[in-house]
Structures are given as structure tokens and as C-alpha cells.
Amino acid sequence: MFDFRKKKQFDFGLVSTQDDRDIDVVRLRRESRNGLWTESLRLARDIFLIIVVFVLFGVFAVQPVVVEGTSMLPELHDGERLLVNKLVYYKFQSVSWGHLERGDIVVFWFPSDPDKSYVKRIIGLPGETVEVRSGKVFINGSQLIEPYLDGINNQNLRDSSSKTVDQHYYFVMGDNRDNSSDSRVWGLVPEKYIYGKAFFRYWKPSNAGFLEHGEYDIPEMPKLDDIRAEHE
């Protein structure tokens, strides 16, 4: 009358992989391990790419330098950190940051000892005649007005004989004219020795900001390469 034998039971609400072959079987432990490994690889890849970008940026575009000495007072102080634009190598004439101009603060290898590097301001350009009389600079006979100078650091009104700047060379001077070894003493700087021009001070934080670039009324002379290009 009563059948107490165990009957076959059916589970309702459960899904079996046998019902649908398209169902993915997720094993949480294995998936978590795979996910962690994948994310680690992605993170390593991103870090590597960031390092490569920074290396290329430092090699071809910007380089940090440290100011040593007081020859550029009051604009630069001993121990300050600067960013140097190295794109002047490529001579992008259409933009100011792509080529050298009068007033640029440049970093270069010292011509008499290339193991040393100096930081000075460009005063005389190729083809110009530079002369210092009573502490004042004259370019092609016209006085150069330099508002960035401090009279306290320029009391030694020594003269310098007239000097014509050769092509692919520059006449440089420190802003602290009383205590600066520059083109007045050891001559011109070859263009190939200039490896960048400083544009930003990032240390000390209280003085952080872009560096002052001189503004002059004296027009720049056309370069020899530009003159040749016009005649071709």
C-alpha cells in the first residue's frame, strides 16, 4: 500500500553544465589567481613604459642641473635646481624654445675644460661685435640695456676690448659681472658645447618659477645659414 522506497529526487532551481554547454564553469580560487597574475603583468608593463618615457624625455628634451657658485646673481643662487631645455639641439627656428637667443641662460661645457659645465647668459650672437666700456655692454656700437642686473654686483667697471663673434659661437656673461669668469676672460663658446638653456627653477620652492629672459631693443643679426638659404 505504501511504497517507502527512495524515489529519484529532482533538484529545482539548480543549473547543471549538462543542461547548457555554453555555461562557463567559474572556479573562484583559480580565477582569482589568474586575475592577480594578469593585473601584475599589466602593472609591470605600465611601469616599464613610464620609465622608458621618462628616460627618453630626459635624453632628448629636459634635464635637471644644479647651480654651483654665484656668477649669476641675483637671478640664480648657489645650490638652486633648474630644468634645462635640450631641444635647442634641433634648432626649431619657428619657436623661441627651439633655438638660442640673446638673453637665454644657457648651460654649456667649458671650452678650456669640457669636463666642467658653466651656466651663463647669452649676450653676443654670431656676427655681432661686443664691447664692454665702463661696465656697460655695447652690441655693434649700441648700448645693451640689461634690467636684470643688480648694481651691487656690478661695481667693477672694467673694460673689455671689442670682439667679433664668429659664426656658430656665442659671447656669454654672468649677471654678477664683478665675480664671473666668462667670455671676457676666456673667449667665445662654441655652439656645439651648449647642451641646453635653462627655463625653470624648481628648487628652492620659495623661488620656483620661470627664469627671467632679457628683452632688448637691439635687433638680432641674420645668421649666415639663413643668408645662404635666401640666396639659394
Out of 71, 86, 180, 183, pick the active-site residue.
Answer: 71
- The CATH number of the structural domain formed by 63-215 is 2.10.109.10
Map grid coordinates 529545482 to a residue: 12
pTM for the whole structure: 0.71
**pLDDT (tens digit, 9 = 90+) per residue, 13-39?**
555 545 555 555 556 566 566 667 777
Task: Assess whether 112 carries a catalytic annotation.
Answer: no
The percentage of residues in the chain with a pLDDT greater than 70, rounded to a whole number, is 70
Out of 6, 7, 96, 120, pick the active-site residue.
Answer: 120
**pLDDT (tens digit, 9 = 90+) per residue, 196-218?**
999 999 988 888 999 988 788 87
Detail the DSSP E strand segments found in the chain. Answer: 62-66, 81-85, 105-110, 113-124, 129-133, 136-139, 142-143, 160-164, 169-173, 189-190, 194-203, 209-210
Following CA atoms 55, 121, 124, 145 in sequence, which dihedral angle do they give, to the nearest 10 degrees? 140
Secondary structure (DSSP) of 10-52: --SS---TTT-TTPPPP-HHHHHHHHHHHHHHHHHHHHHHHHH
Average pLDDT over residues 177-206: 92
| Pair 69, 78: CB distance under 8 Å | yes
Task: Assess whether 204 carries a catalytic annotation.
Answer: no
